[in-house]
Amino acid sequence: MARRTGRPSYQLDKADVRRQRTVRFAAVAGVIALVTALLGGLIGYQVGRPDATEATIASIKQDEAKRDAQQIVELIETARRVRDQVAPVLTAIKTETTAAGRAPDPAKARQWQEVMRQAAEPFADPPSGTTATNVARGGLRGAVQQASLAVDAYALAAGVPAAQRAALLDVTARQAAEAATIWSVAATQLDQISVDSGQGHQHVFLDTDSHEGALTPDGAAEGTGG
């Protein structure tokens, strides 16, 4: 059986040659594009993914945020308890120091000093938190310390002659008012960090008069805004 033979390559139609070249070029271009895409994806993944240091920093920040949120919840609870201890004392001092001719009561002074000692206990060894949380806690502690000074001044007034009593009672009243003002600033800060941490508005304020210089609640509903 005779073997079939085709035309010699030099006799091939030029169109066929061009078509073959086009197919080869297309195949090569496809391979190059695929390799480029794979390399680009690999490089992008390597560049885009966080390295070990970045991942560690992100984890630390996340842990700090959780710890701070818990500290804020605990600080709000502490502030409410301490407010319930301090507020009656400051109110009583205001009454005692504005009553004309009333002599300070040593028994009341001793009772109030014990109350203030108990109110100061939660702030004796505070945990370390974020700056914003530390500011709120420090403000509450400062208010308690100032209230304690007011009580001590009242106690001193109870043990001095009547001629010296008026001056000490005036100091007592001013220290009590200053304690209320400091508390209001701390309570405002506490309200803000509560909102920032997702707890919503928490108004742990004393019953004070804004005309005396103390800050007052913003009027937002309790628990909203978180």
Q: What is the per-residue DSSP string for 125-189?
A: SPPP--HHHHHHHHHHHHHHHHHHHHHHHHHHHTTS-HHHHHHHHHHHHHHHHHHHHHHHHHHHH
For residue 143, give both structure tokens: 């208010």
155 & 72 share domain = yes
User: Are residues 67 and 33 both part of a single domain?
Assistant: no
- Confirm whether 5 is domain-assigned: no
CA distance 64 to 21: 64
pLDDT confidence band for 173 (50 / 70 / 90): very high
What does the pLDDT average to over 15-26? Answer: 54
Dihedral sign (CA 75, 143, 202, 111): positive
Do residues 96 and 220 lie in contact, with contact meaning Cβ atoms separated by under 8 Å?
no
Same domain, 100 and 195: yes
Q: How confident is the model at residue 98 (pLDDT cuts 50, 70, 90)?
A: confident
Does 26 lie in the same domain as 67? no
Q: Report yes or no on 176 lying in a domain.
A: yes
102, pLDDT greater than 90: no
Question: Are 29 and 139 in the same domain?
Answer: no
Total count of domains within the chain: 2
Of 80 and 22, the structure prediction assigns the larger pLDDT to 80
Tell me the two tokens of residue 116: 């203030």
Query: Residue 156 in contact with residue 144, Cβ under 8 Å?
Result: no
pLDDT of residue 64: 80
**71 and 107 share a domain?**
yes
- Give pTM, 2 decimals: 0.74
pLDDT at residue 11 is higher than 80: no
Same domain, 69 and 28: no
Range of the domain at 110: 62-212
Domain co-membership, 29 together with 85: no
Instruction: Output the average pLDDT for the chain.
Output: 84
Residues 39, 146 within the same domain:
no
| Residue of higher predicted confidence among 63 and 119 | 119
Alpha-carbon distance 143 to 175, whole Å? 10
